[in-house]
């Protein structure tokens, strides 16, 4: 794994992603300690993302590693458990090393799958968080009327931040990155030898 090149990729996309969070800050409720997005272990991770995540795990102190290892064992033994094992006291213990989906969650995104555009509003809208003030739950969409009524400066936008788009940027080829196969995080963890 070429960590240096992957980190260059992350620096580039994080400038872009952070800019989008800034543009949408009127609608965003994300803050330290809000961990709803960390409560699902079925999120997709590429092989490269998982290898980078494990680099973060290796940086943890022994006590924290033991907590993570125990949480991984619990997940594997009880797949109904959904919390990410790297979440400790409502904070990501490997934040710098988190996956792409962890970095983009909270924004409205779109992708094009088999020629069909798909628009995704973060599920935390249903918890009264991101975009909730302008969300029309009856029609499952953003209400332009609510946006106008509430006087927001910036229109809510969908961004091309799907992994299938980000993994195919020209930069990926220039940096000679190979993301490899994608699986659910829990499936990568099943083969992780750090959890003994």
> Which tens digits make up the pLDDT trace of 63-104?
999 999 999 998 888 866 688 999 999 899 999 999 999 999
For 176, the 3-state DSSP assignment is coil
pLDDT tens for each residue of 101-124: 999 999 999 887 788 888 899 988
Closest CA to 85 of 130, 38, 155: 38
Band (pLDDT 50/70/90 cuts) for residue 178 is very high
Distance CA 164, CA 149 (A): 35
Assess contact for 6 and 168: CB atoms under 8 A.
no
Query: pTM of whole model > 0.95?
Result: no
């Amino acid at each position: 794994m070429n960590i240096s090149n992957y980190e260059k990729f992350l620096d580039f996309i994080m400038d872009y992603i952070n800019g989008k969070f800034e543009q949408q800050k009127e609608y965003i409720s994300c803050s330290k300690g809000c961990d709803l997005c960390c409560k699902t272990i079925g999120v997709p991770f590429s092989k490269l993302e998982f290898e980078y995540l494990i680099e973060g795990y290796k940086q943890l102190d022994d006590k924290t590693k033991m907590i993570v290892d125990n949480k991984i064992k619990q997940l594997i033994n009880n797949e109904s458990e959904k919390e990410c094992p790297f979440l400790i006291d409502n904070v990501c213990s490997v934040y710098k090393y988190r996956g792409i989906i962890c970095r983009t969650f909270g924004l409205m995104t779109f992708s094009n799958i088999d020629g069909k555009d798909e628009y995704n509003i973060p599920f935390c809208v249903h918890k009264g968080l991101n975009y909730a003030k302008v969300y029309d739950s009856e029609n499952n969409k953003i209400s332009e009327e609510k946006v106008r009524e509430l006087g927001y400066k910036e229109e809510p936008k969908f961004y091309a931040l799907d992994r299938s788009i980000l993994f195919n940027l020209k930069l990926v080829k220039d940096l000679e990155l190979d993301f490899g196969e994608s699986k659910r995080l829990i499936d990568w963890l099943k083969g992780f030898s750090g959890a003994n």
